[in-house]
């Protein structure tokens, strides 16, 4: 859209509350503030105009922030052809330039998470638990003396390995180079998307091709690992038939079988593998690292968590059923997610058709709307002492209301936005809840954990555009649990 079109569209919005920069120079500044402090406008708007729609202009886009229960419900109920998650990912991740044009016209790879992963979770749990235990024993070997491990790197490595067990299976899920490629690819995507996103449309192809070189390079590296595996599985299929004995139940098999014929090349399959991993491992690694930081920062929770976990594990071991009973642990992790996550910009939706909210405001085609999970999670209307870490907050609510479902980690709603809300709420949350509880239960049973510095100060989060991320450089200390034989 030209700048003139943009100004005409903006004039239609003059009745919607405006927050942040205004006027031509204001919007120019606003664009730079996107990188520097744009998220503060979102917070400011939320605090001043709670329950209303407000807009924040930048040079190339108009972002609308939805606040309060009723407007969030409007978004939840809207159809995909009005408000589109994929449209906003396409724009936010600049997928035409960073992944594959049209990848989000048919994101069939996500259906693996919706259909296969979640449905088979119970049956697959024992192998996942084994992978968690082996990953910890190799990456955090229990020692008699305190040993320091880089928290973010270790958290990422464990999550990549366990998730890749479900995506490509062994031995590739243990391959350090392949796991590193998944990490590098995600990092390259985020950085490239940010720069291309700030570039005017007519320059995007040029800018993308300049920056793009390390995405194809990483893709080629990944294809070198995936190609022989595809070949091997195709040969087995030719020899033993479609359902050959020992056929792995993973994303790779799923893609080889379910991808449209035009997408059966190694390249197309590898892109979908990497794209699914991008959605999965980064938020899951952040959640694990943050929960470990919280365990080390607030050690007073450890005895009560152990008192909950130990008898359950003694009776049944760590199983899908037994982790369901660990509701204090569930509460602890959920509180960590609430306090550290959500993002100032969450649940993004691209407006594909003019959309009128229940308060009468209309947003026009081409705009973007967001909610602000971080502000919601830090709002005293929803959470008393919202900036405090209260590990058993949700466990107490569950007990007080005798409601085993409403306050669990996987339950979504307008006051808990970690996994979004509505038909696009994260389908991986059932897996991630099972994984995080298994990991934390294993850590509590096997190790003592503490901060590297004995000052009780939690390593500060690092903000990247709209969302806080765990401290990347801090380490955590582990040792074999004191009374463990």
Contact set with ligand HEM (CB under 6 A) = 85, 107, 110, 113, 117, 279-280, 283-284, 287, 346-347, 418-422, 424-428, 431-432
Query: Measured in Å, how far apart are the chain's first and last C-alpha atoms?
Result: 67
Minimum separation from the CB atom of position 277 to ligand HEM (A): 8
Q: Which is nearer to ligand HEM, 288 or 395 (CB)?
A: 288
426 known member of a binding site: yes
Residues 6+ apart with CB under 8 A from 311: none
Tokens of 194: 């940010």
Q: Which is nearer to ligand HEM, 33 or 116 (CB)?
A: 116
Minimum separation from the CB atom of position 185 to ligand HEM (A): 16
Minimum separation from the CB atom of position 421 to ligand HEM (A): 6
Angle, helices 204-211 vs 176-197, to 10°: value is 150
* Residue 485, Cβ density class (10 Å: 0-12 exposed, 13-18 middle, ≥19 buried): exposed
Beta-strand pair 362-363/355-356: antiparallel
Minimum separation from the CB atom of position 184 to ligand HEM (A): 19
Minimum separation from the CB atom of position 116 to ligand HEM (A): 10
Q: Which is nearer to ligand HEM, 279 or 441 (CB)?
A: 279
Q: Which of 415, 484, 162, 445 is nearest to 323 (CA)?
A: 445
Q: Which is nearer to ligand HEM, 287 or 326 (CB)?
A: 287
Q: Which of 406, 396, 388 is nearest to 458 (CA)?
A: 388
CB 296 within 8 A of CB 302: no
What 8-state DSSP symbol labels residue 128? H
Q: Which is nearer to ligand HEM, 113 or 226 (CB)?
A: 113
Query: Could you give the residue ranges of the DSSP H alpha helices within 298-392?
Result: 302-316, 320-324, 327-340, 373-377
Minimum separation from the CB atom of position 429 to ligand HEM (A): 6
Minimum separation from the CB atom of position 457 to ligand HEM (A): 25
How far is it, in rounded angstroms, from Cα 157 to Cα 268? 25
Q: How crowded is the C-beta side of 141, counted as CA atoms within 13 Å?
A: 2
Q: Which is nearer to ligand HEM, 439 or 474 (CB)?
A: 439
Q: Which of 395, 411, 291, 275 is nearest to 341 (CA)?
A: 291
Q: Which is nearer to ligand HEM, 71 or 117 (CB)?
A: 117
Tokens of 392: 């058993």
Minimum separation from the CB atom of position 78 to ligand HEM (A): 11
User: Which conformational region is residue 267 in: left (phi greater than 0), alpha (psi within -120 to 50 degrees), or beta?
Assistant: alpha
b/e map 448-461, b = 16+ CB within 10 Å: bbbbbeeeeebbeb
Please say whether the dihedral angle defined by the alpha carbons of residues 16, 21, 27 and 33, taken in this order, is positive or negative.
negative
How far is it, in rounded angstroms, from Cα 317 to Cα 440? 14
Binding positions for heme: 426
């Amino acid at each position: 859209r030209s700048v003139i079109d943009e100004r005409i569209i903006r004039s239609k919005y003059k009745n919607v509350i405006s927050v942040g920069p205004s006027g031509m120079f204001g919007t120019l500044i606003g664009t730079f503030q996107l990188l520097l402090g744009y998220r503060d406008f979102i917070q400011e708007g939320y605090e001043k105009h709670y329950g209303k729609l407000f807009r924040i202009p930048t040079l190339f886009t108009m972002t609308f922030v939805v606040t309060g229960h009723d407007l969030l419900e409007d978004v939840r109920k809207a159809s995909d052809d009005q408000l589109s998650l994929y449209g906003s990912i396409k724009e936010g991740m600049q997928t035409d330039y960073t992944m594959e044009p049209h990848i989000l016209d048919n994101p069939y790879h996500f259906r693996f998470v919706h259909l296969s992963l979640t449905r088979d979770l119970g049956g697959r749990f024992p192998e996942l638990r084994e992978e968690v235990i082996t990953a910890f024993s190799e990456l955090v070997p229990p020692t008699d003396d305190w040993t320091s491990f880089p928290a973010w790197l270790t958290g990422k490595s464990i999550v990549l390995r366990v998730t890749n067990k479900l995506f490509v299976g062994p031995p590739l899920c243990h391959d350090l180079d392949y796991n590193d490629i998944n990490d590098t690819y995600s990092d390259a995507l985020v950085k490239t998307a940010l720069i291309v996103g700030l570039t005017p449309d007519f320059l995007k192809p040029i800018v993308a091709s300049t920056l793009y070189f390390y995405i194809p390079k990483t893709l080629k590296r990944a294809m070198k690992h995936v190609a022989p595996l595809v070949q091997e599985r195709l040969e087995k299929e030719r020899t033993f038939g479609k359902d050959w004995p020992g056929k792995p139940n993973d994303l790779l098999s799923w893609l080889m079988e379910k991808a449209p014929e035009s997408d059966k090349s190694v390249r197309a399959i590898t892109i979908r593998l990497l794209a699914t991993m991008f959605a999965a491992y980064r938020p899951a690694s952040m959640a694990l690292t943050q929960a470990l930081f919280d365990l080390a920062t607030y050690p007073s929770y450890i005895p009560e968590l152990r008192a909950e976990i130990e008898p359950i594990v003694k009776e049944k071991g760590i199983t899908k059923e037994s982790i369901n009973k660990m509701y204090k642990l569930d509460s602890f992790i959920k509180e960590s997610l609430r306090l550290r996550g959500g993002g100032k910009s969450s649940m993004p939706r691209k407006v594909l058709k003019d959309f009128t909210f229940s308060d009468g405001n209309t947003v026009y085609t081409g705009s973007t709307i967001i909610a602000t999970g971080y502000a919601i999670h830090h709002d005293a209307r929803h959470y008393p002492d919202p900036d405090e870490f209260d590990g058993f907050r949700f466990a107490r609510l569950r007990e007080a209301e005798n409601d085993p479902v409403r306050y669990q980690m996987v339950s979504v709603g307008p006051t808990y936005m970690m996994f979004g809300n509505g038909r696009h709420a994260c389908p991986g949350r059932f897996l991630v809840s099972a994984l995080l509880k298994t990991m934390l239960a294993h850590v509590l049973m096997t190790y003592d954990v503490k901060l590297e510095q004995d000052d009780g100060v939690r390593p500060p989060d690092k903000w990247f555009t709209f969302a806080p991320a765990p401290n990347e450089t801090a380490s955590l200390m582990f040792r074999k649990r004191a009374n463990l034989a």
